Structure 1
Amino acid sequence: MTIPTTLECLCGQVRLRIDGAPVARANCHCQACRDFYATPVFAATAWEPAHVLVERGAEHLATYHHRTRQLERQFCRQCGETLFGTNRLGMSVIPNSLFARASGGALPEALEPAMHLFYRHRVVDMEDQLPKFLDGWDGPLHKAGF
């Protein structure tokens, strides 16, 4: 299954054009993502900003800037769905749910998470074989029983 090149919000007012491949594919367990995206684990891909373009409906997008962190997210004013965010590194972060919906319900293999980030801050344990970094991907790994 190939990576979809277009993504839409739930109501279809906003359409994104995606180009290339993601820089990172991860499940994030940090407090900021949990709060910002309202989920216990945020499954997403990070892209160079030039590879994520608003193709239609820019006038329907609203931006929320995190009040204390270098994060923002773009969401549809009509349906409220988050289409992408910007992380502290300036990358465009797209929820995996958008790609799964555009692919008929299954996430393309090329977008499946390759790691867990900030696993020390998890609120739910994950039973998989992916590396579980306690913090960012350049830090120590989680060891079973830790």
Structure 2
Amino acid sequence: MNGGSGRCLCGEIRYAFDGAPNWQVHCHCESCRRATASPFTSFLGVSRDKVRWSGKARASYASSPGVTRSFCPTCGTPLAYESAARAHEIDLYAATLDQPSSFRPERHVHWNEHLPWISLADRLPVHYTPRRLTGEEAMEPILNLVRAAFAYMDGVVDPPSSVHRLTETGIAGAAREGEVWVLEELGRPLACLFLTPKPGRLYIGKLAVAESHRRKGLARQLLAHAESRARDLGLPALEMQSRVELTGNHAAFEAMGFVRAGETAHEGYTRPTSFTFRKAVSDRAP
């Protein structure tokens, strides 16, 4: 799509934009569903300075802090979503395009909020919105997720993984004293990671993905979120550790921009037992 135009149902408001959209997605969040009375909403993001409006003035509604949704005051057609967090662009509704067949969705976002009676076979990648645990939730599902994800280390790493000492109480404490984030689908945890702010860095621990959802980019999504949290906290680097035996993990971390920055030994061992990996946090979000 290289430019386009669209209108509301009654035609009293029109828009046009130049150039290709910045992105094109299907959104499954509850607020967009309610705003459009549809099971999911299809958006294209366009740089604000490339959009032109004509006809009647749009009406608007502040649906949440920093978010404004505009619509036609005559026919009620939703027309645009604007966020203070992304002041440089405006999100247009794909179904209002004069040629909606030109829309080319790239992925599903807020998939963790999708309706259970929606079944899609487009094979597009899905993006989940992480949820931060408060420490008051039942932690058994998170404990089971971590234990299952780390089970492959048994008999491989020496000394045994600290996951064997992890408890529900310990996870609740980690959520209160640091941060525990989880990706969920229909209430089931699919992936998680623990974050601990330290001087000059944000430490990542217990990155775990359910076996049923591996190779779907969930670890990358959580690590991208960790980078966002580091920016919010003013910390210039991410840090994690991996046992020396887990060479496959080392390669995966390096492919995601981490570099080996040191080594440590567990108490009682004269050889390195873990490698430290670090990644510089960019000043701006991608």
Scaled by the length of structure 2, the TM-score of the pair is: 0.42
- Greater CA deviation, 27-36 or 41-50? 27-36
Whether 2:62 is the aligned partner of 1:65: answer yes
- What letter is aligned with 2:128? L
Structure 2 gap ranges (5+): 131-182, 184-189, 191-209, 214-286
Total equivalences in the alignment: 133
- Greater CA deviation, 83-92 or 113-122? 83-92
Deviation at 1:5, TM superposition (A): 3.1
Contact 1:6-1:18 at 8 Å conserved across structures = yes
Matches within 5 A, 1:1-146: 3=2, 5-58=4-57, 61-66=58-63, 68-87=64-83, 88-90=85-87, 91-99=89-97, 102-103=98-99, 106-108=100-102, 111-123=103-115, 124-135=118-129, 145=212
Contact 2:3-2:19 at 8 Å conserved across structures = no
In the alignment, the residues of structure 2 paired with residue 144 and residue 96 of structure 1 have an alpha-carbon distance, to the nearest angstrom, of 35
Scaled by the length of structure 1, the TM-score of the pair is: 0.77
Deviation at 1:36, TM superposition (A): 2.6
Q: Secondary structure at the match of 2:86?
A: coil
Between structures 1 and 2, the one with greater helix share: 2
Contact 1:96-1:107 at 8 Å conserved across structures = no
Between structures 1 and 2, the one with greater strand share: 2
Cα displacement string for residues 85-105 of structure 1 (whole angstroms, at most 9, x for unaligned residues): 213423311111112xx12xx
Deviation at 1:82, TM superposition (A): 1.4
In the alignment, the residues of structure 1 paired with residue 53 and residue 82 of structure 2 have an alpha-carbon distance, to the nearest angstrom, of 14
**Larger RCO: 1 or 2 (CA < 8 Å, sep 6+):** 1
Q: Report the structure number with the largest CA radius of gyration.
A: 2
Deviation at 1:43, TM superposition (A): 0.9
